Structure 1
Amino acid sequence: MEQQRSQLIERRSRLQRRIIAWCQLQSLYMPGVLSLRDSAHENPSPLAESVHLFLPSAVIANNPCDKKLAGYEWRLCYGLAFDCLAELRRHLLVLNTMYQSKDQLIRGQHHNTRSNGLIQGVQTRIKYVSHKYRACRSALVSLSEPLRKGDEWESILRPLLDTDIRGLREGEDASSSSEGRRQLSWIWSSQRTNAAELTLGMNEALRIEWCKARARAQRWQEECILLWEEMRRVAEFHKWQAGVWKTRADEAGCGGARAYALRQQHTRIFLMEKCVTSWADVGQALNAGEAAAAAGEQLVECWTRT
């Protein structure tokens, strides 16, 4: 315990010295920050990690700042956000492997306690990386309008919700979602930072998930084909029934039997027309679903391509 406390004090002192050097250098390139820092010193923080650095993303909205410095922070946060996503994916794969090993191999209270401690450590790192990504994206949002970066980057670096932080084999709601409705989190479809990220374990996991996604897509396509055929047969059945009742009406001649048969024929024709009009847009929806499934397969193929 004493050793950890001494290490913490040493690291805070080292960080404090670096912050002091940063403040001296910042006063040369961002003179407007001096007034902000003086007002912040009225309530000094005893912890070095809580000191406000007044980066361009934090002051550019209300104070003039050199666009060149803001561009440097943009490039730093943009690359760091991708690094955070890569680290987040790696931790999620490690966490999934640890859960599998625990279920298959761990027995006894002692080993379960130790395993839970290791899993908690990975979960803590996942929370830290998630907070780091959100901080980077918040800085990018603050800098995008002054630097006129547009909205293209927001479709790549999307907001990270708590529901998005899930492994490859987890759906949006693992407790209620079926295998056929499971949707992959967007963090797995974002671009990789480099080829080294696709390790052997990640490559195998992505290939397994691609095979499962392809099987799900094929099953859904089969269901769509069966649905379309069933709809066609329902309409044809009503048409056939209308013909049967027309034949019975012709055979009945006149009277109540003919009136009843014609009424049944009219009912079947009404049902057939109702089915055709109600299901008029189903074919377009099925074609759109097939196109989305093909696009999903291409997206996963880009990830699994070596």
Structure 2
Amino acid sequence: DEADDIRGDLHAHEMIDMGLQLEEQQRDLAVDSGVIKLHATDRQKTALLERSNKLGRKITEWLKIRKSFTLMVATLGAEEDAARARGARLQPTPALPVHAVKLWLPSRLVVMPGVSVKRSHARYEFELRVGHAHAALEELRRLLLVRTAKYHYKDAFQHGVAASTRAKTSIANVDERIRRAAAQYRVARLALVSLGPILEETDWKLKLRPLSHDDRDTPAQAAEALRKKKEEERPASWIWLAQLSEEEGSQTGMAEALQIEWTKTRARAWRWTEEVDLVEEEMRRVLEFQRWKAEWWISLVDQHLLAANDQILREGCTAYTCRQSRMQLDLRRRFEENWKDLPRYIQLGRDSLGQIPPESADDSAAAAGGEQEEEGGEEEEEEEDAEAPVPEVAGDTRLVASFVEEFLV
């Protein structure tokens, strides 16, 4: 019943979509918690704790909404809440971390014996999971192409310890993004495996197959590995054949992957350039404020001299205002001394980065969005800034040579 899937202004489809977003944030939090566990600084621990608390509040509010749609969730969550309460009494921190809190989505409920799931809710999650799986697969293919380009660039143009280390760090970052995209795909497919039988859906298995480690190679890498091992020829991984257009996976597909990565990196470069400009302006305003504050304290001397009739009071007011003025001037001189080399360092950094392609009005919205990719497909790609042409791809070696070094590495 469609009317039964609405609570207030919220539809069950929106509720499940919110749950999937929280689930993704839980995965990211779990990965980041494991990465910084051994050698975390106080700032990293604080940031992770704030992030965990914020996510915990979101999950708590969402579970209240979830229980209004499915009363069984309240019963199922009672045992988990009791276990967490017992852990909180015995330990300084709750026994159950935020990223391990169960969200009781339909894909989890269908595998539990004796628990019924509303078919419409299962259908909503199934459709969302299919979209997430295809999006993760597309992101995985794009990142694999970017990683190949980075390897080619490193082999052809990066020499020396410093350059090689920088290139390896960049490749490691892409590898981490590949692992996260693969994990997102596997989670989505696992949910589809649970939801498929009750919805009698099987066609999705032809397009969304199990993902293995060997599938995370580009066609060129797989062919090269086979050539070196002199093995029998085998077809490319299924991820390069699933819903591919004629251009995807070819040189044009490589060009598109590099264009996306270049555009996102350029947006980050503009964002950090703006941050540096803001810091410079804040430094200038601090110095200007302290100069004004010192003059303001001096201006109070005449006011108190006119208002006070007692000689001792006038001398005390004068001494106090002069002392406060001197404190502001001392702070100003100290800041000037500490910041005296910063303009030179900032200029050196800008010179080392080279010339960042100018930003047009059309690019401002994209840069403000951070790393979020623009939607709209080819129509928005045709509106790309003419003054900042995206590198073209031509050939194996020149494929990466045209890529901007300071942005890619």
- 1:169 maps to a residue whose letter is A
Q: What is the aligned partner in structure 2 of residue 18 from structure 1? A: 58
Report deviation, 1:51.
Answer: 1.2
Q: What is the aligned partner in structure 2 of residue 170 from structure 1? A: 221
CA contact (8 A) 1:93 1:167 kept: yes
Indicate the SS of the match to 2:79. helix
Q: What is the aligned partner in structure 1 of residue 131 from structure 2? A: 79
Query: Which of 194, 202, 206 lines up with 1:155 in the alignment?
Result: 206
Q: How does 1:21-170 map to 2 (within 5 A)?
A: 21-44=61-84, 45-61=95-111, 62=113, 63-149=115-201, 151-170=202-221
CA contact (8 A) 1:92 1:167 kept: yes
CA contact (8 A) 1:170 1:182 kept: no
CA contact (8 A) 1:171 1:183 kept: no
Structure 2 Cα separation of the partners of residues 57 and 187 of structure 1: 24
Structure 1 Cα separation of the partners of residues 43 and 251 of structure 2: 38
Structure 2 Cα separation of the partners of residues 173 and 111 of structure 1: 25
Q: What is the aligned partner in structure 2 of residue 227 from structure 1? A: none
Structure 1 Cα separation of the partners of residues 175 and 168 of structure 2: 10
Output one character per residue of 1:256-291: Cα deviation in whole Å (capped at 9) or x when no partner.
xxxxxxxxxxxxxxxxxxxxxxxxxxxxxxxxxxxx
- More helix, by proportion: 1
CA contact (8 A) 2:133 2:189 kept: yes
CA contact (8 A) 1:86 1:197 kept: no
Q: How does 1:163-202 map to 2 (within 5 A)?
A: 163-171=214-222, 174=225, 176-178=228-230, 181-191=233-243, 201-202=252-253
- 2:213 maps to a residue whose letter is D
Structure 1 Cα separation of the partners of residues 158 and 55 of structure 2: 41
Q: What is the aligned partner in structure 1 of residue 281 from structure 2? A: none
CA contact (8 A) 2:248 2:254 kept: no
CA contact (8 A) 2:144 2:217 kept: yes
Report deviation, 1:41.
Answer: 2.4
- 2:159 maps to a residue whose letter is R
CA contact (8 A) 2:110 2:117 kept: yes
Structure 1 Cα separation of the partners of residues 205 and 178 of structure 2: 22
Larger Rg: 1
- 1:84 maps to a residue whose letter is A
Mean CA deviation greater in 151-160 or 179-188: 179-188
Report deviation, 1:205.
Answer: 8.9
Structure 1 Cα separation of the partners of residues 170 and 179 of structure 2: 15
CA contact (8 A) 2:146 2:254 kept: no
- 1:49 maps to a residue whose letter is H
Structure 2 Cα separation of the partners of residues 89 and 121 of structure 1: 16
TM-score (norm 1): 0.60
Runs of 4+ with deviation above 4 angstroms: 175-180, 194-201, 203-206
Structure 2 Cα separation of the partners of residues 105 and 147 of structure 1: 53
Report deviation, 1:57.
Answer: 0.4
Structure 1 Cα separation of the partners of residues 204 and 235 of structure 2: 23
Report deviation, 1:8.
Answer: 2.0
Work out the number of aligned pairs and report it.
Answer: 204
CA contact (8 A) 1:168 1:184 kept: yes
Structure 1 Cα separation of the partners of residues 132 and 192 of structure 2: 11
1:6 has 2:58 as partner: no
Q: What is the aligned partner in structure 2 of residue 284 from structure 1? A: none
Report deviation, 1:102.
Answer: 0.6
CA contact (8 A) 1:102 1:115 kept: yes
Indicate how the Cα distance of structure 1 residues 16 and 100 shifts in structure 2: closer, same or farther if over 3 A, else same.
same
Report deviation, 1:6.
Answer: 3.0
RMSD value over aligned CA atoms? Answer: 2.8
- 1:14 maps to a residue whose letter is K
Indicate how the Cα distance of structure 1 residues 8 and 148 shifts in structure 2: closer, same or farther if over 3 A, else same.
same
Indicate the SS of the match to 2:156. helix
Structure 1 Cα separation of the partners of residues 235 and 248 of structure 2: 23
Structure 2 Cα separation of the partners of residues 191 and 98 of structure 1: 25
- 1:109 maps to a residue whose letter is V
Mean CA deviation greater in 47-56 or 140-149: 47-56
Structure 1 Cα separation of the partners of residues 216 and 223 of structure 2: 10
Indicate how the Cα distance of structure 1 residues 87 and 196 shifts in structure 2: closer, same or farther if over 3 A, else same.
farther
Report deviation, 1:76.
Answer: 0.7
Structure 2 Cα separation of the partners of residues 172 and 145 of structure 1: 37
Indicate the SS of the match to 1:117. helix
